[in-house]
Structure 1
Amino acid sequence: MEEEIIYYDKSEYIETDSGNKISRKSVISVPQNIVLGGKTIIQQNCIIRGDLRRKGSGYAVVIGIGKYCLLGEDSIIRPPYKIYKGVFSYYPMKISDYVHIGQRTIVEAARIGQYVIIGNDCVIGRFSVIKEYCRILDNTVIPPNTVIPSFSVYGGNPGRFISELPESSQIIFEQKAKQYYDRFIAKIEEDDKKTSN
């Protein structure tokens, strides 16, 4: 069964040379501190806080996001922070390839491995690490500094191990990410159709 095409208003999204599709209604603070790997979709009202970085640090990239990622509507992506030797500091965040982050989810992880699906309404605590091939169910709260092992399904509040994923997860997650990107298509207006005929 083929999944439906998701149409978006072309005027509401910016498409970059590397295929990223970024909603004009998203908030990307200090974009020069954010790197997108390509073919990533950033939906409306998503907030990415590239402005939060350690003062005087050598970190050029505050948030790195891989290819074929989806940052859902109303999600918030901000780097983790802590007080070290009396100084309040932010630290870089790395989101790898093929990561889907659901709607209204808040992420303050240190690292998210590739092939990870995070559901809607989740909170991913500061400095947590989600390894490769994981699924975080809707409404899950992952406490700060949690390390989630590969091939795990986590759910609940606080998040706990629910089950294990099969080794074929990589292929399935990659296909889903690519298919979602391919199905996310700009709506062609009637005027555009007439001029192309």
Structure 2
Amino acid sequence: MKGKSVVLAYAILRGDFNSPIRIGRYVSIGIHTILRPPTLIESSGGRSMKPTMSYLPITVGNNTRIGKYCVIEATAVGSSVFIGDDVVLSKRCIIKDCCRIEDGTVVPSDMVIPPFSIVKGCPAKIVGELPESAAVDIVDESVDAYTAFVQEQQQQKR
């Protein structure tokens, strides 16, 4: 975690699978959200054909907001991404930079969402496109949200 990021109450980051979780700056992770490394099941090849399971790393870019009650098993979530509440990012999906994932969306395993996409539904579908100015707007919003959080915490201590 690079700093100036917020992990709210009851969020779970499963770093115990010997697979790193990398989180950028100005990231907000909502209450009751779970980040767990996605699994990859491979066949060893030989006669036994015994499958082996490994865990892949998770990367969350800068200026990204993950809502409450989400389950994140994505391989990568880009920078300047807004993820609504109750979203499921299934195993190994990839969310590129500057995307908006609407509340209640379920992104299926291995789906790649291109930059500037608005995604909604179960299963997820691209329903629109963000303007190019969204890249700057999302950065400003994430910095403002962090600043407001810090000020609120300081007031509660008084």
TM-score (ref. length: structure 1): 0.73
Letter in 2 for 1:68: Y
**Cα displacement (A) at 1:167:** 0.2
C-alpha deviations, 1:58-115, integer Å up to 9, x for none? xxx6100000000000000011102112111101111110110000000000001100
Matched residues, percent identical? 35
User: CA deviation digits over 1:30-62, x for unaligned, max 9?
Assistant: xxxxxx011000000000000013xxxxxxx61
Map 1:145-184 → 2, pairs under 5 A: 145-184=110-149
| 1:182 aligned partner, one-letter code | T
How many residues in Structure 1 have an aligned counterpart in Structure 2? 149
The equivalent residue for 1:186 is 153
- Aligned partner of 1:15 in structure 2 is none
Aligned amino acid, residue 127 of structure 2: I
CA offset digits 1:158-191 (Å, max 9, x no partner): 000110000001111001100000111215468x
Q: Any stretches of 5+ residues in structure 1 without a counterpart?
A: 1-35, 54-60, 193-197
Say which structure is richer in strand: 1
1:189–1:125 distance in 2 versus 1, CA, 3 Å: closer
Distance 2:5 2:39 in 1: 25
Amino acid of the structure 2 residue aligned with 1:77: L
The residue type paired with residue 47 of structure 1 is I
Residue number in structure 2 paired with 1:47? 12
Amino acid at match of 1:64: R
Q: Are the structure 2 counterparts of residues 69 and 189 from structure 1 closer, same or farther at C-alpha, using a change threshold of 3 Å?
A: closer
2:85 is the counterpart of 1:127: no
Aligned partners of 1:164, 1:186: CA distance in 2, in Å?
35
Map of 1:96 onto structure 2: 61
Q: Which runs of 4+ in 1 moved over 3 A?
A: 187-190
State the SS of the aligned residue for 2:141: helix
Q: Which amino acid aligns with 1:76?
A: I
Secondary structure of the residue that 1:183 maps to in structure 2? Answer: helix
What is the alpha-carbon root mean square deviation over aligned residues?
1.2
Partner amino acid, structure 2, of 1:130: I
Q: Larger C-alpha radius of gyration, 1 or 2?
A: 1
The one of 64, 76, 80 equivalent to 2:38 is 80
| Cα distance in 2 between the residues matched to 1:88 and 1:164 | 36
Equivalent-residue separation in structure 1 for 2:155 and 2:78 (angstroms): 35
